[in-house]
Chain A
Amino acid sequence: EAQVTQNPRYLITVTGKKLTVTCSQNMNHEYMSWYRQDPGLGLRQIYYSMNVEVTDKGDVPEGYKVSRKEKRNFPLILESPSPNQTSLYFCASSLWVSGELFFGEGSRLTVL
């Protein structure tokens, strides 16, 4: 089954404790992206990747890091989480950069 898998789905952590949200897709997509969803703000892009070893900032990259060492994986790293990073995070992938995005089910992160 074609899918984008994110883990963990739910996480509560404390300020400053490094965490990684993993994302994996099994569709051989070149393009992958991370979004955060906040009430009233819709989805905002954090980082995206056009292919292996090619990443770029989105609209709200501050406080986040990403890497793309393999085509299928695109982890999101929060080196020192802060409460304003409490949000619902989505990973998405696409065969074509402006085509249909396939989304994971989301990761709800709470930073205390």
Chain B
Amino acid sequence: AQSVTQLGSHVSVSEGALVLLRCNYSSSVPPYLFWYVQYPNQGLQLLLKYTTGATLVKGINGFEAEFKKSETSFHLTKPSAHMSDAAEYFCAVSDGTGTASKLTFGTGTRLQVTL
């Protein structure tokens, strides 16, 4: 079975500061990894994903994440936070076999951006 752990249910950063949201996973097979963002009163939308290939993945709105197999991590970063980044962020893992596999989501990290 696969699982996802997001460290920190709430993270607060100042505008312009580095954003770092942590995600660790467990999977018995090579994982597919995703970050989704949920803005207030909206559904989730994909920020970025890792399937195979390059381990540094760039997403929308200046976010990126690095797949580190040795650390079983997929942390999300952004060099400079903007007020519009305030949202809840979910890391998710899938075994990627395509046979009745499904995404397992973490419990989410709420990002607050202050002036």
Closest to B49 in A: A100
Interface contact A90-B43, CB-CB below 8 Å:
yes
Which one of A42, A56, A96 contacts B100 once the chains associate, using CB atoms below 8 Å? A56
Interchain CA distance A26-B49 in the complex, whole Å: 23
Interface contact A106-B102, CB-CB below 8 Å:
no
Interface contact A41-B107, CB-CB below 8 Å:
yes
Taking the nearest CB of chain A, how far is it from the CB of B84, in angstroms?
A: 19
Classify chain A: how many residues form its interface, as a range: 20 to 34
Interchain CA distance A92-B94 in the complex, whole Å: 15
Interface contact B108-A58, CB-CB below 8 Å:
no
Interface contact A97-B100, CB-CB below 8 Å:
yes
The reply to whether the CB of B98 lies closer than 8 angstroms to some CB of chain A is: yes
Most chain B Cβ neighbours within 10 Å, of A35, A58, A101: A101
The reply to whether the CB of B45 lies closer than 8 angstroms to some CB of chain A is: yes
Interface contact A40-B107, CB-CB below 8 Å:
yes
Interface residue ranges, B against A (CB under 8 Å): 9, 32, 34, 36, 41-46, 49, 90, 94-103, 105-108
Q: Could you list some 8 contacts between A and B, CB below 8 A? A: A35-B105, A41-B107, A45-B102, A58-B102, A98-B32, A98-B96, A105-B41, A106-B42
